[in-house]
Structure 1
Amino acid sequence: MQSLSEKYKSKKAFSLLETIISIGIFVIFASAIYTSIQYIYKVVYSSRIQIIETAVLNEQVEIIRNMKFADVGVVSSTPEGVLSRNVVVTRNGIDFLVTRSVRNIDDPSDGTIDTGTDIHPNDYKLVFLEVTCANCQQAVPLSISTYLGDSFPENTANSGALFVNVKDSNNNPVKSANVHLTGNNKIVDDTTDNYGLLRIPDLPACYKCYKITVDKVGLTDDQTSSSTDFGGATPVNEYATVNDQQLTNVYFQIDTPSNILVKTLNTACMPVPNVSLSVTGGAIVANNPDVSSFSVNDVSTDGSGEHNFNDLHWGNYNFVVNGGTYNLVGSSPSLPFNILANSSQTISLVVATSTGSSLSMIVRDSAQDTISEAKVTLNLGEPSEVVKYTGLGYVKQNSWPGPPYTY
């Protein structure tokens, strides 16, 4: 039978437990109520911001509709007009950033310039407006668009059309790619459509004067180049030319970048640290002679004999061992090797201590694949000769007596 003191102690401990549980339940409910109030406040605030933004957009549209048709355009862009591309509007003490874009539209009802049935592609204009709250952490801007027409006769004297085509490494269209054009006192900032195409119908005629840069978040970039950018080499994609009342197409390729992990090993497949390398590869941006988009003349592997190259353009890459400390006696895969877009690849470079005379030979078939176990005979002069068999398509010898050699 429990004593009174034992009953009192038991009741006291139980009351403390009840208090702790009650506090826990209260905290849970209070947190839920606070979170709900916060969410409701954000929804109400976002709705209020959206209402103001809608009013700002409608106001901007009415201002533009009451302008002269010839004035509807962005300053130093095409079509050229009196509008600034970006303007800050303040309402209720809140700043809103308005971005304006104007395009000439080539309506197919009277033919189009790309089919050769309409040399005047400025049928009417598309006005596209975006607004965002400058300090509201707004993720997606609010937008509106409208078409504007005029009764004036079409006229594109001293101007032509420029179509910017953007594709990936597999020639699939890249939509929403950013296109930045400068030249001839014009600036155009726009994006490609679902077909990877940006049409600029009314651009002043100019010979090799339009510099175009194309990019998109998470992808490589591409651009036109001046004839003087690569010394005596000729750019593959020169500054764009627009001819009077003609259509010019320019093409660009962008895609997800790739990564290469380089390992320098000895003939026993053990890491060799601090090997100096030169690397060239990626896209060919100029010819005669060829110029690659990526070129590094002196980069070294780390203490583990490794080095990462990130954010690379797809294409062929070649590696050269610098200095007189090591000779390159082989690689896996063979050099030069090709890497695809959006991929990661490891290449192992086999090096050996440099000697006075070294030879590395690759044996390939008609499809340019390496041939293993191919017999290679090097004639050192009567009666000496050396016979070697390729491993993964390679024959490697790092110390030869003096010439002459025939094989």
Structure 2
Amino acid sequence: MSKLPVSKKITHKTQRGFTLIEILIASAVITIAGVVIIATIASFLRVVLAFQDTTRAQNLANEKLEILKNMPYASLATQFGAIYPPGNLPDTQTVTSGGHQYVVHTYINFVDDSFDGNALGTIPGKPQDFYPFDYKKITIEVRDGLDKKAFVKINTNIAANAAETSDNTGILFVSIVDSQGNPVSNANVHLTNPNPSPDVDITTITDTAGLLQIPLLPQDTTNGYHIVVSLTGYSTDGTYPDSLAGYDPVQPDFNILSQQVTNLTYTIDRLGSMNITVQDENGNPLNGVGLTVASETKTYVDTNGINPDIAKYSQTFTSGPSGQIAISNLEWGGYGFSPQSGHYITSVTPYQPVSLTAAGSLNVTLSVSTNSSWPIISSVTPTSGLNNASLSVEVIGTNLVSGSSIELRLAGQPTIVATGVVSSGGDTDLTGNFDLTGALTGTWDLAVVKPGGQTTIQKGGFTVANP
């Protein structure tokens, strides 16, 4: 009897695939590697392009400088630069190199070598040098096509073959400082005078010390020289013509005298901003109220006191739905406020005139009333006291009638009421005494309350301190 065949067990080796997580991880690694590679390539290209820009700019600057070196010395002057009489050289040119546009700036100015003294006569042991144009300094700056980024800046000095000679000209020496007295470099200075022939029309910049010297200016005894100083993001300063009847300019246009130095200083600084809130007597925001904001800095004054002075800054605004007025690009200094007709400012926080610092941002709150008899606080003296004694306080304002009270208020603290309050000066002056003994230190509101309850509050108007 035959045996049945025995079947053999066949095993199959299975192939294991990638899981979803493994695929995601691998994709992420590849992506990251790709990003790194692309970023590296992009960075390399930027470096290459920047190198090419710098190389082209260097070549342009060298070419320009070589051209100027081969020109006659007397012709080395730009159309609006710091040398008078002006030349024919353009101050700014747009050129193309390698398919790219570049802006080329040319600066040419006289240099006063200290060897024979200086124009101001400030070098010990050296005489005053009335011919401070020993040689010319040429500076070539090449920037990108948008005139924003500088690639190359080179300079050289070129001297004349002839010696210095005297003539019927004078020297202008200008110093530009900020509000703290620090020098402002690269400030733009624009000097004009239509009287000489050719006209004086010079646009140049200060050096790193904020100084600028312009020799060989034609004499003018009619105050014909006008100057404007500016810098991006800064305020402006300068002179004003004597052309308004009944007014004198605070900084008038000036003379240049033969063989003399005219030394002038102007001040500019970074611009700031002001945010004003206009509210009623009860602190509710006021919409649609016209308000004139004027600087304490004046451009013209009437020495006879007949005409009102003319402020350097004076603009009228209208408050928005929340009582807000936002003002930018303001010069540092003091500012005052005048509301539209039929409105009266009862208090200003901080006290008016408010003071804006350079590059600062100031928040101002104006309380306004349509009631002409409402008490008005203009100033308080002093605005602080020690909490170990009594103190006499004076409030200056309007409608400060007899029977009014002066109070200090702070949330959570008992009100401090002045004693011996007296009204004087035709209801423009209130005096009283505060007993500050044991008072909590900090900033308190100062309130003036008329008989009948009309109240004006000077927010944060008084500070109590420890002895």
Checking the alignment, whether the CA contact within 8 Å between 2:61 and 2:154 is kept in structure 1 is: yes
Aligned match of 2:412:
none
Q: 2:42 aligns with which of 34, 38, 43?
A: 38
Q: Does 1:338 align with 2:344?
A: no
- Secondary structure (helix, strand or coil) at the match of 1:113 reads coil
Tell me the residue number matched to 1:118: 129
Tell me, what secondary structure is at the counterpart of 1:55? helix
Write the distance in 2 (CA, Å) between the matches of 1:110 and 1:366. 57
SS in 2 for 1:57: helix
1:301 aligns with 2:319: yes
Alignment partner of 1:23 is 2:27: yes
Matches within 5 A, 1:340-359: 340-355=357-372, 357=373
What TM-score, normalized to structure 2? Answer: 0.72
1:253 paired residue among 267, 275, 295: 267
**Unaligned residue ranges in structure 2 (runs of 5+):** 1-10, 122-126, 303-307, 385-392, 396-405, 407-417, 434-443, 453-467
Rounded to whole Å, the distance in 1 between the matches of 2:151 and 2:310 is 41
Q: Deviations over 1:316-353 (max 9, x none)?
A: 222222222x3333333333333332323333222233
Give the match for residue 402 of structure 1.
none
1:177 aligns with 2:177: no
For the 8 Å contact 1:273–1:303, the answer to whether it is kept is yes
- Judge which range, 195-204 or 141-150, deviates more: 195-204
Distance in 2 separating the partners of 1:49 and 1:306: 48
Whichever residue aligns with residue 91 of structure 1, its letter is S
Q: Contact 2:92 / 2:104 at 8 angstroms: preserved in 1? A: yes
User: Relative to 1, partners in 2 of residues 1:164 and 1:199: Cα closer, same or farther, differing over 3 Å?
Assistant: same
Cα displacement (A) at 1:24: 2.1
Matches within 5 A, 1:53-64: 53-64=57-68
Q: 5 Å matches for 1:384-399?
A: 395=448
CA contact (8 A) 1:283 1:314 kept: no
Judged with a 3 Å threshold, the aligned counterparts in structure 2 of structure 1 residues 354 and 140 are, in CA distance, closer, same or farther, namely: same
Letter in 2 for 1:348: T
| 1:370, distance to aligned residue in structure 2 (A) | 5.4
Alignment deviations for residues 2-40 of structure 1 (CA, whole Å, 9 cap, x no partner): xx99x88xx44x344433322222222122112212222
Distance 1:92 1:331 in 2: 61
Map of 2:253 onto structure 1: 239
Pick from 167, 179, 192: which aligns with 1:157?
167
Q: Are residues 312 and 396 of structure 1, via their aligned partners in 2, closer, same or farther at CA, if it must alter by over 3 Å?
A: farther
Deviation of 1:101 (Å): 0.8
User: For the Cα contact (< 8 Å) 2:235–2:331, is it kept in 1?
Assistant: yes
Name the TM-score, length of structure 1 as normaliser: 0.82
Q: Map residues 203-352 of structure 1 onto 2, 5 A cutoff.
A: 203-206=217-220, 207-228=222-243, 230-288=244-302, 289-297=308-316, 299-324=317-342, 326-352=343-369
Q: Deviations over 1:166-186 (max 9, x none)?
A: 111122222222222233423
Which residue identity is paired with 2:175? N
Structure 2 counterpart SS, 1:61: helix
* 1:182-204 deviation line (CA, Å, top 9, x unaligned): 33423322222232211212322
Structure richer in helix, relative to its length: 1
> For the structure 1 residues 275 and 21, does the alpha-carbon distance in structure 2 shift closer, same or farther, using more than 3 Å as the test?
same
Which SS does the other structure have where 1:114 is aligned? Answer: coil
Q: In 1, Cα distance between the equivalents of 2:134 and 2:425? A: 76
Provide the C-alpha distance between the structure 1 equivalents of 2:217 and 2:319, rounded to a whole number of angstroms: 50
Letter in 2 for 1:338: S
Q: Which amino acid aligns with 1:132?
A: R
Once the two structures are TM-superposed, the CA of residue 392 in structure 1 deviates from its matched residue by 6.7
Contact map agreement 2:144 2:150 (CA 8 A) in 1? no
Q: Secondary structure at the match of 2:240?
A: coil
Residue of structure 2 in register with 1:132 after alignment: 143
* Alpha-carbon displacement from aligned partner over 1:134-185 (angstroms, at most 9, x marks no partner): 27x9722311100001231212512211122111112222222222223342
Q: Is the 8 A contact 2:171 2:261 kept in 1?
A: yes
- Distance across 2 between alignment mates of 1:58 and 1:103: 19
Which 10-residue stretch deviates more, 86-95 or 39-48? Answer: 86-95
Change (3 A) 1:39 1:258: closer
Pick closer, same or farther for the CA change 1:219–1:23 going to 2, 3 Å. same
CA distance, structure 1, for counterparts of residue 378 and residue 98 of structure 2: 74
Check 1:187–1:398 CA distance in 2 against 1; reply closer, same or farther (3 A cut): farther
Distance 2:245 2:151 in 1: 44
How far 1:235 moved relative to its partner? 1.6
1:329 & 1:245 partners in 2: Cα distance?
A: 57
Offset at residue 396 of structure 1 (A): 6.5
Change (3 A) 1:352 1:199: same
Q: For residues 273-324 of structure 1, what are the alpha-carbon distances to aligned partners after superposition, in whole Å with 9 as ceiling and x for unaligned?
A: 3322222224222222422111124x22222222222222222222222222
Query: Which of residues 66, 91, 97 in structure 2 aligns to 1:85?
Result: 91
Deviations 1:92-149 (A, max 9, x none): 34333221111011111112111161111111100111113427x9722311100001
Listed as ranges, the gaps of 5+ residues in structure 1 are 381-386, 400-407
